[in-house]
Chains A and B, each alone.
Chain A
Amino acid sequence: MKQLNFIRKIKEIKIDVRAYTLIFALIAIWLLFGSLTGGVFLSSRNFSNLLRQMTIISFLAIGMTPVIITGNIDLSVGSMTGFISVIAAYLQAILLPTFLPVLFPTLSIGWLGILSTIITIIICLLLGLLIGMGQGYIIAYGGVPAFIVTLGGMLILRGGILGATQGKTIVPIEDSLRLMAQGYLSKYPGILVAIIAIIIIFLVTLHSRTKKKQYGLKTRSLGYDLVVASVFSALVLAFTFMMNSYRGIQIPVLIMAIIAIMVTYLMNNTRFGRHIYAVGGNKEATKLSGINVQSVVLKTYALMGLLCGVSGIILTGYVAAGTTSGGMNYELSAIGGCVMGGTSLMGGIGTVFGALMGTLIMTSIENGMSVMNMSVFWQYIVKGLILILAVYADVSSRKNKSL
């Protein structure tokens, strides 16, 4: 048991090195832009913007992580986000306003709007799930390479966007949907959320201590665990106060955090998560361990589709319209974020946390350069170079380790 605990420690250190590299890189980039922009980049207003900019891509990066870990890819997520966004706009601006008042004549206009938003969310999530499952089915059971299926899906859905909009922008969008993407928690609800988060952090810490004791695994001193939990709590509080000093915690950022935690849990603590990593590590061995590899792949695409649904809804709320160019090139940002965060395109390796950090780094660079008023062409070039550099650094460090 002593040995087991010792090993745990080594393992934690190893994981931390990876995560810390990303965190240090992020802090370095922030400090760099902070000094280049004379502090504007580090203002709470800009931070708030930065986080909002990353949310829509981050849903896609979260969903892309399991897909890439199983050794596949999804190129259709940008088009799918755009397509679902257009459908959401179509529902809100055209279809539901004609039906709902007839079906529910007694409801007030405000309530009709909320009902419209709820129906839109449900339909969009189901639509994303269905498209994702469709593509996943062809990939897993039809044996068509993921690259081809999702490349086809990308074209088809882009065509769907143009067909549905007829090249026009669809407006208006209900206030309740816009609130989901643009709204802020005011001061006290924000603090309430922070307090709930802190309570959860402490409960999880204590729960894991009881479990370890129950199975005779050695635990660290209570003081150490409490200090760690306190540090995380302090970070949550600092974040809350920083956001509150501008307009408050943004609702889409909160949604992102909740989804990230849920998917991380899924990846680390469920059989499905284990199966995802195993399929990516060695498909044949996984199959011979009695795991239905095809169903695992199908489910990763279903999850990806669902998250495209979320992303599409938030996109519509954010731009307050359905546009023809919605979601353009998002797949590249999402894949870039994953890879930057250490997800291996060979499969088997990667984390949601890494994907989020990767996305945050890429968004920070983009945001920093636009705050500095650099031309757009430079932004593209710098982002491309940094992506290649980051993956090169990762690949060469892994090579050194194995040799």
Chain B
Amino acid sequence: MKDETILQIENITKDFPGIRALSNVSFKVKKGDIHGLCGENGAGKSTLVKILAGVYPYNTYEGKIYFNDEEIKFTHFSIQQAIKKGIAVVYQEPVLVPQMTVGENIFLGREPEDKGMINWSKLFSDTKEILTKYKLNIPFFAKLSTLSVGQQQMVEIAKALSQEIKLLILDEPTSALTEAEVNYLMEILKNLKENGVTCIYISHRLEEFFRIADNITVLRDGLVVDTVRTADTTEEKVITMMVGREMKKRFPVRNSKPGEKILEVKDLSVSAQSKTVIKKVSFDLRKGEILGIAGLMGSGRTELVTALFGEYGHQIAGEIFLEGKPIKIRSAEEAINYGISLVPEDRKKMGLVLIQEVFKNISLPNLKKFSNAWSIDQYKELQECKKYADDLSIKTPSLFTITESLSGGNQQKVVIAKWLMSKPKILILDDPTRGIDVGTKYEIYNLINKLAENGVGIIMISSELEEVLGMSDRITIMREGECAGTLNRKDATQERIMALATNLKRNDRYNQ
């Protein structure tokens, strides 16, 4: 009984345009185990979860999945099919109806009926039964909106368990939880294990694996590095497996000659919706320097740079000095006037007007350059836009093409072109190469280097440690809204950054 395999993944390969997300991934999950799955951002964890949950149907990937010795093929986009088989996923952000009660959420779409009417007493007694059975301490009549994120996660788990789930996949459930809630979740998972439920557990916090997981599978760049027994390994070994690989020549060489200090941030704090998102972060930036910002998703790295771009208006505290002069940035407009530009994290939502032509996107923040109060000189505009489009070799049928129809990499180049035209003193890039193929990545690296050589101060966030290491002069690591440390290029290694970002207890050793 103990050694029975519940899930067997064989040679799964999944391609996205320009990127191989998973490559020959194989491993087994034993019945009744808690199976840890870890890897850097972009290692392929989420893609794997989506295949198991039926989001990516059979035929869109290669390879085989056996569940209870039976090959599963989800024919089309159907999470319901996966649930029927007994596989459910609990995501990082709970997907529930905030206005409904716990019981209603658990039985949403499957309400017990009695002659066409909802049998409320059965619904609530069933809810109570599930919550007691798995020792989930939540009031079953409470509205979801009154619960904490941690409690909402419990509701998600209860919802999955109410459907006779055999395999529960938890995709980074703890990233939004407090320490106490994490401890509670750990207890619940141990309890589930005693009740015979198998779990695949994904997390960025390695110590959690060592508390509950039986086995750990490490993914890197879409490949399985290894599957190890937790008892036979250590956190350091896992980190090495996650990042440990020789650096290839993926980054262009640059002569780094940082000049005088252009930006200094002192004790910057941001609170939004009565929550502190950034706590007393200080750093500085020199002309011609590339400052990398590393950190896990949700570590506050995006909030830090958007705060510099006026996103939080008056909700920021602390001091900002531009070329030695104190400044206040309350809106994007002000930031741009100070010579700060931001290539945002999500180009589709925040970077581009997708339904408009390429040239209109490039010129949007720069219209003043070729217009007066009464008219835009459209010929001059086209000429300027063409210059930047050629410089960046944006592959588009024309400047009049609707931006939506370009590839991801070229869309990103349009965003970069638009900010280059504004001739910034400081260029902030928030994960500029996410979802972009290797070739275009290299072009973007070259471009960033060229800007730095011309004296622009560059702040670059990246989810990829290699990118941060390959590009930056210095690296600031963010963790839970705080600055966890700053490393010089020569002192920085992937292990050190990971240790700072994931809060290993030994992190003092790496602090400078």
Residues of A within 8 A of B (CB): 3-4, 6-8, 10-11, 211-212, 214-217, 269-271, 274, 277-278, 281-282, 284-292, 348-349
Contact call B353/A7, Cβ cutoff below 8 A: no
Tell me the chain B residues, 460-492 only, with Cβ under 8 Å from chain A.
none
A288 to chain B, nearest CB (A): 5
| In the complex, B143 has a CB within 8 A of chain A | no
The segment from B23-31, B90-98, B162-170, B379-387 that touches chain A is B379-387
Known contacts A278-B364, A289-B418: does B332 contact A3 (CB below 8 Å)? Answer: no
Tell me the bound Cα distance from A324 to B156 in angstroms. 59
Residue of A nearest to B344 (CB): A288
Residues in A neighbouring B379, C-beta threshold 8 A: 211-212, 214-215, 217
B387 to chain A, nearest CB (A): 11
B302 to chain A, nearest CB (A): 13
Residues in B neighbouring A215, C-beta threshold 8 A: 379-380, 382-383
The segment from B77-85, B198-206, B394-402 that touches chain A is B394-402
Known contacts A271-B368, A278-B353, A290-B335: does B398 contact A6 (CB below 8 Å)? Answer: yes
Tell me the bound Cα distance from A348 to B402 in angstroms. 13
Residues in B neighbouring A277, C-beta threshold 8 A: 353, 356, 360
Tell me the chain B residues, 358-380 only, with Cβ under 8 Å from chain A.
360, 363-365, 367-368, 371, 373-380
| In the complex, B176 has a CB within 8 A of chain A | no
Residues in B neighbouring A287, C-beta threshold 8 A: 332
B343 to chain A, nearest CB (A): 10
Contact call B333/A292, Cβ cutoff below 8 A: yes
The size class of the interface chain B forms with chain A is: 35 or more
B66 to chain A, nearest CB (A): 36
Contact call B352/A282, Cβ cutoff below 8 A: yes
| In the complex, B355 has a CB within 8 A of chain A | yes
A42 to chain B, nearest CB (A): 38
A274's partner among B354, B360, B373 (CB-CB below 8 A) is B360
Contact call B364/A4, Cβ cutoff below 8 A: no
Tell me the bound Cα distance from A290 to B344 in angstroms. 13
B13 to chain A, nearest CB (A): 28
25 of the cross-chain contacts (CB-CB < 8 Å) are A7-B399, A7-B400, A7-B401, A10-B400, A11-B398, A11-B400, A211-B377, A215-B382, A269-B376, A270-B375, A271-B376, A274-B360, A274-B367, A274-B376, A278-B360, A282-B352, A289-B336, A290-B331, A290-B332, A290-B335, A290-B336, A290-B365, A291-B364, A348-B356, A349-B355
Contact call A285/B360, Cβ cutoff below 8 A: no
**Mostly helix, strand, loop or mixed at chain A's interface?**
helix
A285's partner among B350, B363, B378, B400 (CB-CB below 8 A) is B350
Tell me the bound Cα distance from A264 to B364 in angstroms. 19
Residues in A neighbouring B397, C-beta threshold 8 A: 7
Tell me the bound Cα distance from A7 to B349 in angstroms. 27
Which of A7, A8, A282, A289 has most B Cβ within 10 Å? A289
| In the complex, B342 has a CB within 8 A of chain A | yes
B374's partner among A7, A10, A270, A282 (CB-CB below 8 A) is A270
Tell me the bound Cα distance from A4 to B351 in angstroms. 24
Residues in A neighbouring B376, C-beta threshold 8 A: 269-271, 274
Contact call B367/A271, Cβ cutoff below 8 A: yes
Residues in A neighbouring B375, C-beta threshold 8 A: 269-270
B386's partner among A4, A10, A278, A285 (CB-CB below 8 A) is A4
Residues in A neighbouring B400, C-beta threshold 8 A: 7-8, 10-11
| In the complex, B67 has a CB within 8 A of chain A | no
Known contacts A4-B386, A281-B356, A288-B344: does B350 contact A270 (CB below 8 Å)? Answer: no
Contact call A285/B351, Cβ cutoff below 8 A: yes
Residues in B neighbouring A289, C-beta threshold 8 A: 332, 336, 364-365, 418
Tell me the bound Cα distance from A265 to B351 in angstroms. 27
| In the complex, B74 has a CB within 8 A of chain A | no
Tell me the bound Cα distance from A140 to B364 in angstroms. 21
Residues in A neighbouring B363, C-beta threshold 8 A: 274
Known contacts A10-B398, A11-B400, A215-B379: does B350 contact A288 (CB below 8 Å)? Answer: yes
Tell me the bound Cα distance from A285 to B383 in angstroms. 23
Tell me the bound Cα distance from A366 to B349 in angstroms. 43
Residue of A nearest to B333 (CB): A290
Residue of A nearest to B398 (CB): A7
Apart from the given pairs A11-B400, A215-B379, A291-B333, 12 other A-B contacts in the complex at a CB distance below 8 Å: A3-B398, A7-B398, A214-B379, A269-B376, A269-B378, A271-B368, A271-B376, A277-B353, A277-B356, A289-B332, A289-B364, A290-B331
Tell me the bound Cα distance from A289 to B336 in angstroms. 8
Residues in B neighbouring A285, C-beta threshold 8 A: 349-353, 364
B353's partner among A3, A8, A216, A281 (CB-CB below 8 A) is A281
Contact call B371/A281, Cβ cutoff below 8 A: no
Residues in B neighbouring A349, C-beta threshold 8 A: 355
B350's partner among A8, A274, A284, A291 (CB-CB below 8 A) is A284
Residue of B nearest to A349 (CB): B355
Tell me the bound Cα distance from A285 to B343 in angstroms. 10
Residues in B neighbouring A217, C-beta threshold 8 A: 379, 382-383
Contact call B351/A288, Cβ cutoff below 8 A: yes
| In the complex, B445 has a CB within 8 A of chain A | no
Residue of B nearest to A287 (CB): B332
Tell me the bound Cα distance from A132 to B342 in angstroms. 34
B314 to chain A, nearest CB (A): 15
Tell me the bound Cα distance from A6 to B401 in angstroms. 12
| In the complex, B209 has a CB within 8 A of chain A | no
A66 to chain B, nearest CB (A): 16
B249 to chain A, nearest CB (A): 34
Tell me the bound Cα distance from A274 to B398 in angstroms. 19
Tell me the bound Cα distance from A67 to B373 in angstroms. 21
| In the complex, B56 has a CB within 8 A of chain A | no
Which of A212, A277, A281, A284 has most B Cβ within 10 Å? A281
Contact call B355/A274, Cβ cutoff below 8 A: no
| In the complex, B140 has a CB within 8 A of chain A | no
Which of B331, B335, B363, B364 has most A Cβ within 10 Å? B364
Tell me the bound Cα distance from A274 to B357 in angstroms. 12
| In the complex, B388 has a CB within 8 A of chain A | no
Residues in A neighbouring B337, C-beta threshold 8 A: 290
Contact call B333/A271, Cβ cutoff below 8 A: no
Residues in A neighbouring B353, C-beta threshold 8 A: 277-278, 281-282, 285-286, 348
